[in-house]
Structure 1
Amino acid sequence: MKTLGIFGCGGLSEIVVDALINGLLPNYRLIGTMSRTLSSAQYLANKVNSVQKATHCDAFDSIDEFLALKPDIIVETASPSALKTFVLEALKNGSSVVPLSMGAFADDEFYEEVQKTALKSGAKVYIPSGAIGGLDVLRTVSLMEKASVKFNTEKSPDPLVNSEVYDEQMKTLRREVFNGNAKEAIALFPTQVNVSVAAALASVGTNDINVSINTTPDYIGDEHCITINSEDISAKLCIYSKTAKIAGWSVVNTLRNITSPIVF
């Protein structure tokens, strides 16, 4: 039985809690929830405590107190900046981490430090697929031979209202608002393109993947299309999601794989 902690207590974390309550994570016990807003952490803790009788889950708004629990695995659903505040200390404590805010790893020095810390402690970082898929294909082809990778995102302009690329014409016209690499994309849109960094890390790296972000008026949800080409292989995968739920469920799948005798 593994102990579990959750950092960031929004809707995606609630998907994980509900999966645990519904018996989809039978090898885990949730022992702590962490949020800057204590009431959010308390809500999830209360929810699981209503059915999880053998183990009590505590709520925290202090990172140090949360990390002192030393859960076997910490699920992160907050933000790249939040991930940076705790992941190194968590790994030093022996806690493995399942992060949705993979954009933090576009920082090369930080990513290298995470790898070194994990190797030294024996803990691991398990990167879930988030709102995309095909990370296994990207990694396989990139190991096999030199490849090029393109990552195209289609979304509504609404999530970009507070970004520097936004203007009123985006309400009526389709537009490519960004074209560059994943490192540049996550710097410009810290919470919008974490999955492009995951795709980059699984393949050619954050400097060499081509990222295109396009907005369409009244578009609902997000579509991410990943294309990889090499001498032997050509593959394209497009995933449309009306909501962000698939990201939360990708964490559930990752947690199940960690304890499963057969891993997909």
Structure 2
Amino acid sequence: MNTPTKLAILGCGKLSGIVVQALNSGLLPEYRLVGLLSRSRNSAEKMVQQLRGGNSDCRVCENQEELFSLNPDYIIEAASPAAMKNIALPALRRGISIISLSIGALADRVFYEEVHRTAAENNAKVHLVSGAIGGFDVLRTASLMGPCKASISTEKGPDSLKGTEVYSDSLHKERRRVFSGNAVQAIELFPTKVNVAVAASLASVGPENIEVSVTSTPEYLGDDHRIEISNSQVRTVIDVYSETAEIAGWSIVNTLRNLASPIVF
């Protein structure tokens, strides 16, 4: 019997809970969860209590060093771009691969190059999951064919913009475009809310070159992301609506299944 691949999780919120759900239901039989690290120890302890079977001895860790000491093969990062920036390089130097939701961290070109170099030097990888969008395959394929143009437009409800400098009570009364620029500018303004824009840009024309817009619509529920890419031969539109963020958690599960499968989608 093959030895299970060891997983650790950084960030114990709802999206990580979906990975736990998948482990418990048998969707990820090739993996064993060995460690959790969260800003809130209480969240990590609650998550451990949900685990069953071979994962029930998972450890709640106090810091990164304790997490690294468990020698996971993969760390699932489901916390924030800041957390991704904090853990990526030390993990990669130890040969630990990362499965990341906080792709916005990689809009920083210097950090991106450091991650790329460190992963290559230590035989590790960073897997960027699709999160709330899709179509990475066609975006990358179109960009390989020659010069292309790419854009992503996002529609959100005003409540999802609370805590950002674009939010005001007036957004509850009128539909308004609150941002227009590129992915680098977008992630600076919305550090945790436009990871999808950075993901689409990295799969295509780069964070500085993709056109990004964010529109606020009163009483709008969920997020709608419309990505377009075109070159001299191809034009593709990818439109993904999600009522909740759950699709991002399930995209981690899909990535794990692909990593373990002899047939990869």
TM-score, shorter chain, exceeding 0.5? yes
**Residue aligned with 1:150, SS:** strand
**1:32 to 2:2 alignment:** no
Shift of 1:61: 3.0
Partner Cα distance (2:40, 2:68) in 1: 17
Partner Cα distance (2:246, 2:217) in 1: 21
Per-residue Cα deviation, 1:169-206 (whole angstroms, up to 9, x for no partner): 11110000000000000000001000110100000000
**Residue aligned with 2:53, SS:** coil
Partner Cα distance (1:67, 1:195) in 2: 28
Partner Cα distance (1:211, 1:117) in 2: 29
**Residue aligned with 1:25, SS:** coil
Shift of 1:57: 0.6
1:222-233 pair list within 5 angstroms: 222-233=223-234
For the aligned residue pairs, the C-alpha RMSD in angstroms reads 1.0
Partner Cα distance (1:146, 1:183) in 2: 20
Shift of 1:132: 0.2
Letter of the 1:51 counterpart: G
**1:17 to 2:20 alignment:** yes
Partner Cα distance (2:71, 2:150) in 1: 38
**Residue aligned with 1:52, SS:** helix
- Say whether the 8 Å CA contact 1:2–1:27 is kept in structure 2: yes
Structure 1 partner of 2:69? 68
Structure 1 partner of 2:53? 51
Shift of 1:45: 1.8
Which portions of structure 1, spanning 4 or more consecutive aligned residues, are displaced by more than 6 angstroms? Answer: none
**Percent sequence identity over aligned pairs:** 52
Partner Cα distance (2:87, 2:162) in 1: 29
TM-score calculated relative to the size of structure 1: 0.97
**1:174 to 2:163 alignment:** no
**Residue aligned with 2:258, SS:** helix
Partner Cα distance (1:155, 1:39) in 2: 31
**Residue aligned with 1:65, SS:** helix
Letter of the 1:181 counterpart: N
1:231-250 pair list within 5 angstroms: 231-250=232-251
Structure 2 partner of 1:6? 9
Shift of 1:46: 2.3
Structure 2 unpaired stretches of 5+: none
Alignment partner of 1:41 out of 41, 44, 50: 44
Partner Cα distance (2:124, 2:198) in 1: 21
Structure 1 unpaired stretches of 5+: none
TM-score calculated relative to the size of structure 2: 0.97
